[in-house]
A and B are shown apart, each in its own frame.
Chain A
Amino acid sequence: MTIQFIIVMNRQGRTRLAKWYDLYSNKEKSLITGQVHKLISTRDTKHQSNFVEFQGNKLVYRRYAGLFFIVSIAIHDSELAYLELLHFMVEILDLYFENVCELDLVFNFYKVYAILDELYLAGEIQETSRDKVLQRLAYLDKLD
């Protein structure tokens, strides 16, 4: 499994989105979320890398405004590729929600899950064409 989970949380540690690709119990999920916040929020954004080892895997993260976008990947996977994948995801969210903000993710949480399913499935990268993803999302919105 390449991606174990993707978490979007604000600086206070409030989870805005969590997608788990590995099997975790609810208890483990909340435990991990707490540990991840503690680990990431204390890191120096200026002088430290965007990668940190975590429970035998690696966290790759990036902060956008008040939100941390965090992905956990296997130890041998490419950090930079997933760092850019986070950026790619944020771009998609930004274009889809037209200037995405934290509240968009809150009020449209079910939409965000649908968007993630276009990008990643089974913890693996699926589609990497921005145009294709956006076209697909626009098409799905019309289906209602």
Chain B
Amino acid sequence: MPAQMKGLSQFIADIRNAKAYDEERKRIAVELDNIRRKFQDTKLLGYQKKKYVAKLLYIHILGYTTVHDFWLGASMDLARSATFSEKQMGYLSFSLFLESSNALETILPVLEDLWGDNVDFTTLALQYVATGVADGSAVLEAVYGFLRSPTTVPLVRRNASAALLRIFRDNPELLLANCRSWVPRLVAVLDDADLGVSTSAVSLVSFIVEELPELCENLLPLATRKLSKVVLDPSYVKDEYLYYDIPAPWLSVKLLGLIERYIQYLHFVEGEIDLPSLATLREVVHQTINRSSSPLAGLQSKNAQSAVLFACISLLGYLDPSPEALASATDALLLLLDSPETNTRYLTLDALIKLTSRGGKVAQENTSKQLSVILHLLEDKDISVRRKALDLIYTLTSAATVETVVEHLTKYFHTADYTLRPELAVKIAVLCENFATDAVWYVTTMLRLISVAGTHVSREIWERIIQILVNNLSLQLLAARMVVKYLRDKALSETMTKVGAFVLGEFGHLILDQADEDANLIEGMTAKRCTARVQFDLLYHKYFYCAPNTRAIILSAFLKMYKRHEDLRPLVLDFYELELNSIDIEIQTRAMEYLRVVTLNDDTKHLDLIVGEMPVFVNKVNPLMAGVGTIAQLNAPVSHLRGFGRNRSSSSVLMSHGNGSTGLVFQGAGGLVLQSSEASTIRRPSFAARNGSSASSPGPEPKKPVLSPNWQEGYFRSLHFDQGILYENTLLRITYRITKKNHVLGFQLTYKNKTTHADITGLTATLRSGTSTTQPAYVIELVTAPSSDIAQSEKTDHRFNVVLRSTGLSNVEQPTLLLSFMCGAFTSLKVKLPVLLLRALTAAPLAYSNFLTRWAQVGAMGASGEAVLQFKTSLAYPTISLRRILARMGFAIIDETEYQQPEDVSQELILGTGILHTLQGNFGVLMFLEARAEGREFTLRIRCTAPDVALILAETIVSLLEFGA
């Protein structure tokens, strides 16, 4: 603790001692006046300036935010002072006084300090840039320079990472326009040996992933490796980064979040997680879940451990988890459910919600084992826990549990908080609609819900029930019978009266000859029928207790009854006459209009038109889903992603085609299955759209990577040689070996550290497929991943197989190998790999006579089976080397003694045959090469038994010969 500034302390004490607001204000006015005078003194010492600016800041913090302009000069002097504490005060005053990045003049000291050689000053300047007040674009290069240079001290790198994040965040166009090439290098900072730098970098990279995910190819292996070191390697995290024995919990949580977000992007573009990363991530999640079963002592350790656990479980849903993994995850969470800590219960429920909504059936069923515990949490002392419990119950309810759950929730209604009730009603209604398999149960339950929930039932709910009744003939009679029962209740809610009025109006005629059981019980009369009169009376008795909008519905119901039952007509007419005097204008109008309609002398022609049968409802969107609350978003894989990703589709509640008609229809055991939901057809917005930064459009189409210089040599060699050097620079040599086994190409790449002075660290090798994602012509299967570190003069192997699935592989679909590593500085490489149809060719010797026969046969296929290309090369190929090249490509060359060479001695003919192997099948290939002008001019003819393949093969051969084999 340093010494304080006495004058400042005295001032603060004065203010604190002020007894009234006025006194405080006066003291401040005096001080402001004093400071203003002092600042006019040109000989003011740095210390005094610091003191007075500090006082001004204190006044500002107290809420006296009137802008005074006289501080800026002093603050500028302070910021350019050579004394650290004065400079610090100068920057602090900028960041507190200035509200936005309009502070152009403050950039001067920043620039001086960034370029200067005082590290402490540089740090201050970077921290100031990170507040976002300074003009970021002016210092962008300098800030990036600190991150790029391997000699920068960790403290500066860490601050530079934060400053850069701030600059990008405030000016995303800078990142998008100029700094795209920086991205792989910035991503590599994740693996910084200093965990502080690494932590800061996760935030920076998280931002970049939102903007330019397609450039973050090295992210997943790097982040995964870092995560596994932190979480799994007990010796990796030094003591200073242990938080109550938990290794770097914040870094772990942030890395997990970043990885989750990137995997979402991969899913979005239908990319795959590379297998080693997937395995490592699963291991991290597995170990973390295991550890959580042995609870730690101490709140801090527990919380830190749980934070990592929750982040892991959130990620698990994206790792294509096995049923066992899901089960152990839910088990781990269920253990925490009865924790005495409210925080833990709350977050556990939250994690379970995510897991059950993403983890599918297994997670749902496993969680349902503890349904009673979860239902019990509806009684928790904390309302947010109760709300979460309700959300969880909503997500895990299935057809198997719906009856229990709805029963419980309906009972719970009476004790539930008022604020929770509307949501509860909606959820019950949606659950019923989603999972009902029994029509009787559905109607009974929904009517019960309305009677229980009464006024908490929103309009959407009862309207929805009515829609369903209208669309389902089989439910109408039952519904009518039941509402008659409910309408007998004197203390009936108006909502029920509304439903009752509608149902009796529409379907009352269905129950005319039904015995009115309740009437028997109550009045002890013999088998009374539910006559139209009985129904009319039921509604009539409710009428005067109801609000106008309910009355209106009853009036309409009476109109329908009028049409059907002649005996009711005088009653209805009287009633309308009466309501002509209603004080409610709407009711009066309605009564008037109805009266006019029924008294028109037109044989009820108008009436029939008006009260004809209800047409089926065809709305596509269930209005209830809007009322489900935050949980509706959770049905998308990630709650925080607005609209991004797939919504849970199948279970959404909508309409379906039933027996050719449109509407909400019960379909056998399928429950209320409804038509193709909006959710499943939601167009997925672009990844970056959520930040509104539409400047980048990282579409799913793979970008053509810019390949590393001099990639061609190795690539073209690899088209015909089965082994050799694929790529080489001063640091690294990549050698390859390709083995053909039918339609599988086995690749072994060896990465050798050529240097004798530096280790390669943080190596990531990513294979980026170039073929279509929906109908891939080939699939890459990883066998062994290279190790991340290569010591001097050492090497590591990278093996994978390429399975050729079909002949639909054009010559631009090769996979790209992306390598990045640290060796002194960050390096990244991109090279093409020789995955071409031609590579799947193997020799199939054929006699010349057979060749001719086959040539003619394939020729009959027409244009799709043949390609003829004429080309010239700068290099002259002697016949003997042409033969060798073609043989290496996989052709069996027909012995030249078997056929006659052309008479013109400047011409040579080379004939070859081969078989093309794909998973789809094997195809014969015939090659006819005519060389002229001493091997500089050629005519190449290829015929192939598979359509459209000949040209692809021919082009490959031409490209190789043109490049120089």
Q: Mark A50-79, 1 if CB is under 8 A from B, else 0.
A: 111000000000000000000000111111
CB atoms of A98 and B1 under 8 A apart: yes
Q: Given A25, A87, A106, A131, which contacts B12 in the complex, CB threshold below 8 Å?
A: A106
Q: How far is the CB of A141 from chain B (nearest CB, A)?
A: 4
CB atoms of A87 and B300 under 8 A apart: yes
Q: How far is the CA of A87 from the CA of B303 in the complex (A)?
A: 11
Answer whether A51 and B346 are a contact pair too, CB < 8 Å, given A124-B200, A128-B248.
Answer: yes
Of residues 56 to 101 in B, which have CB atoms within 8 Å of A's CB atoms?
Answer: 57-58, 61, 63, 65, 83-85, 88-89, 92, 96, 99-100
Of residues 111 to 144 in A, which have CB atoms within 8 Å of B's CB atoms?
Answer: 111, 113-114, 117, 121-122, 124-132, 136, 140-141, 143-144
Q: A residues within 8 A CB of B241?
A: 128-129
Q: How far is the CA of A83 from the CA of B195 in the complex (A)?
A: 20
Q: A residues within 8 A CB of B310?
A: 78, 80
| Most A Cβ at <10 Å: residue of B58, B196, B385 | B196
Answer whether A80 and B199 are a contact pair too, CB < 8 Å, given A25-B99, A144-B84.
Answer: no
Q: Given B61, B99, B346, which contacts A18 in the complex, CB threshold below 8 Å?
A: B61
Query: For chain B, what secondary structure do more than half of its interface residues adopt (helix, strand, loop), or is it mixed?
Result: helix
Q: How far is the CA of A66 from the CA of B576 in the complex (A)?
A: 69
CB atoms of B342 and A47 under 8 A apart: yes
Q: A residues within 8 A CB of B127?
A: 117, 121
Q: How far is the CA of A34 from the CA of B799 in the complex (A)?
A: 61
Q: A residues within 8 A CB of B84?
A: 140, 143-144
Q: How far is the CA of A50 from the CA of B132 in the complex (A)?
A: 30
CB atoms of B162 and A124 under 8 A apart: yes
CB atoms of B195 and A128 under 8 A apart: yes
Q: Given A96, A110, A121, A141, which contacts B200 in the complex, CB threshold below 8 Å?
A: A121
Q: How far is the CB of A121 from chain B (nearest CB, A)?
A: 4
Q: How far is the CA of A44 from the CA of B382 in the complex (A)?
A: 9
Query: For chain A, what secondary structure do more than half of its interface residues adopt (helix, strand, loop), or is it mixed?
Result: mixed
CB atoms of B165 and A122 under 8 A apart: yes
- Of B18-26, B250-258, B361-369, B896-904, the segment with at least 4 beta carbons within 8 Å of chain A is B250-258
A84 within 8 A of B: yes
Q: B residues within 8 A CB of A128?
A: 195-196, 199, 241, 243, 248, 250-251
Q: B residues within 8 A CB of A125?
A: 199-200, 203, 250, 254
Q: B residues within 8 A CB of A113?
A: 92, 96
Q: Given A49, A76, A111, A144, which contacts B346 in the complex, CB threshold below 8 Å?
A: A49
Q: How far is the CA of A24 from the CA of B363 in the complex (A)?
A: 42
Q: Mark B338-354, 1 if CB is under 8 A from A, else 0.
A: 00001101110000000
Q: How far is the CA of A1 from the CA of B195 in the complex (A)?
A: 20
Answer whether A23 and B303 are a contact pair too, CB < 8 Å, given A49-B382, A126-B158, A143-B84.
Answer: no
User: Of all chain A residues, which has the CB nearest B196?
Assistant: A127
CB atoms of A110 and B243 under 8 A apart: no
CB atoms of A114 and B88 under 8 A apart: yes
Q: A residues within 8 A CB of B131?
A: 121-122
B173 within 8 A of A: no
Q: Given B100, B306, B343, which contacts A23 in the complex, CB threshold below 8 Å?
A: B100
Q: How far is the CB of B18 from chain A (nearest CB, A)?
A: 13
Q: Mark B1-15, 1 if CB is under 8 A from A, else 0.
A: 110100011001000
Q: How far is the CA of A50 from the CA of B385 in the complex (A)?
A: 12
CB atoms of A30 and B196 under 8 A apart: no
CB atoms of A83 and B343 under 8 A apart: yes
Q: B residues within 8 A CB of A129?
A: 195-196, 240-241
Q: A residues within 8 A CB of B61?
A: 15, 18, 109
B169 within 8 A of A: yes
Q: How far is the CA of A74 from the CA of B210 in the complex (A)?
A: 15
User: Of all chain B residues, which has the CB nearest A108?
Assistant: B4
B604 within 8 A of A: no
A5 within 8 A of B: no
Of residues 15 to 55 in B, which have CB atoms within 8 Å of A's CB atoms?
Answer: 16, 54
A4 within 8 A of B: no
User: Of all chain A residues, which has the CB nearest B254?
Assistant: A125
Q: How far is the CB of B642 from chain A (nearest CB, A)?
A: 11
B490 within 8 A of A: no
User: Of all chain B residues, which has the CB nearest A25?
Assistant: B99
Q: How far is the CB of A31 from chain B (nearest CB, A)?
A: 12
Q: How far is the CB of B687 from chain A (nearest CB, A)?
A: 16
CB atoms of A84 and B303 under 8 A apart: yes
Query: For this complex, into which size category does the number of interface residues on chain A fall?
Result: 35 or more
Q: Given B83, B307, B345, B385, which contacts A78 in the complex, CB threshold below 8 Å?
A: B307
User: Of all chain A residues, which has the CB nearest B384?
Assistant: A49
Q: How far is the CA of A14 from the CA of B189 in the complex (A)?
A: 41
Q: Given A23, A127, A131, which contacts B199 in the complex, CB threshold below 8 Å?
A: A127
Q: Mark B156-184, 1 if CB is under 8 A from A, else 0.
A: 00110011011001000000000000000
Q: How far is the CA of A109 from the CA of B59 in the complex (A)?
A: 12
User: Of all chain A residues, which has the CB nearest B120?
Assistant: A143
CB atoms of A122 and B196 under 8 A apart: no
Q: How far is the CA of A76 from the CA of B636 in the complex (A)?
A: 14
Q: Given B2, B343, B345, which contacts A144 in the complex, CB threshold below 8 Å?
A: B2
B249 within 8 A of A: yes
B710 within 8 A of A: no
A12 within 8 A of B: no
Q: Given A74, A87, A122, which contacts B640 in the complex, CB threshold below 8 Å?
A: A74
Of residues 312 to 348 in B, which have CB atoms within 8 Å of A's CB atoms?
Answer: 342-343, 345-347
User: Of all chain A residues, which has the CB nearest B203?
Assistant: A124
User: Of all chain A residues, which has the CB nearest B241?
Assistant: A129
Q: Given B4, B63, B196, B303, which contacts A107 in the complex, CB threshold below 8 Å?
A: B4
B304 within 8 A of A: yes
CB atoms of A76 and B307 under 8 A apart: no
CB atoms of B249 and A84 under 8 A apart: yes
Q: How far is the CA of A78 from the CA of B306 in the complex (A)?
A: 10
CB atoms of A48 and B384 under 8 A apart: yes
A42 within 8 A of B: no
Of residues 719 to 737 in B, which have CB atoms within 8 Å of A's CB atoms?
Answer: none
CB atoms of B196 and A132 under 8 A apart: yes
Answer whether A122 and B304 are a contact pair too, CB < 8 Å, given A48-B382, A110-B57.
Answer: no
Q: How far is the CB of A9 from chain B (nearest CB, A)?
A: 12
Q: How far is the CB of A41 from chain B (nearest CB, A)?
A: 16
| Most B Cβ at <10 Å: residue of A83, A96, A131 | A83
Answer whether A80 and B162 are a contact pair too, CB < 8 Å, given A47-B381, A144-B83.
Answer: no
Answer whether A81 and B640 are a contact pair too, CB < 8 Å, given A122-B132, A126-B158, A140-B120.
Answer: no
Q: How far is the CB of B321 from chain A (nearest CB, A)?
A: 20
CB atoms of B638 and A109 under 8 A apart: no
Q: A residues within 8 A CB of B12?
A: 106-107
B959 within 8 A of A: no
Q: How far is the CA of A143 from the CA of B254 in the complex (A)?
A: 33
Of residues 194 to 213 in B, which have CB atoms within 8 Å of A's CB atoms?
Answer: 195-196, 199-200, 203
Q: How far is the CA of A136 from the CA of B123 in the complex (A)?
A: 12
Answer whether A49 and B83 are a contact pair too, CB < 8 Å, given A78-B257, A106-B12, A140-B120.
Answer: no
Q: How far is the CB of B510 from chain A (nearest CB, A)?
A: 48
15 pairs from A and B in contact (CB 8 Å cutoff) = A1-B169, A49-B345, A50-B343, A76-B257, A78-B257, A80-B304, A88-B243, A106-B12, A114-B88, A122-B163, A124-B162, A124-B203, A126-B200, A127-B158, A131-B240
Using a CB–CB distance below 8 Å, which chain B residues touch chain A? 1-2, 4, 8-9, 12, 16, 54, 57-58, 61, 63, 65, 83-85, 88-89, 92, 96, 99-100, 120, 127, 130-132, 155, 158-159, 162-163, 165-166, 169, 195-196, 199-200, 203, 240-241, 243, 248-251, 253-254, 257, 300, 303-304, 306-307, 310-311, 342-343, 345-347, 381-382, 384-385, 638-640
Using a CB–CB distance below 8 Å, which chain A residues touch chain B? 1-2, 15, 18, 23, 25-26, 30, 44, 47-52, 74-81, 83-85, 87-88, 96-98, 106-111, 113-114, 117, 121-122, 124-132, 136, 140-141, 143-144
User: A80-B310, A108-B1, A140-B120 are known contacts; what are 9 more A-B pairs with Cβ within 8 Å?
Assistant: A76-B257, A78-B253, A78-B307, A85-B250, A88-B243, A121-B127, A124-B203, A125-B250, A127-B196
Across the A-B interface, give the 9 residue pairs with the lowest CB-CB distance, nearest first.
Answer: A76-B640, A121-B162, A124-B203, A80-B307, A143-B84, A47-B381, A121-B130, A122-B166, A81-B307
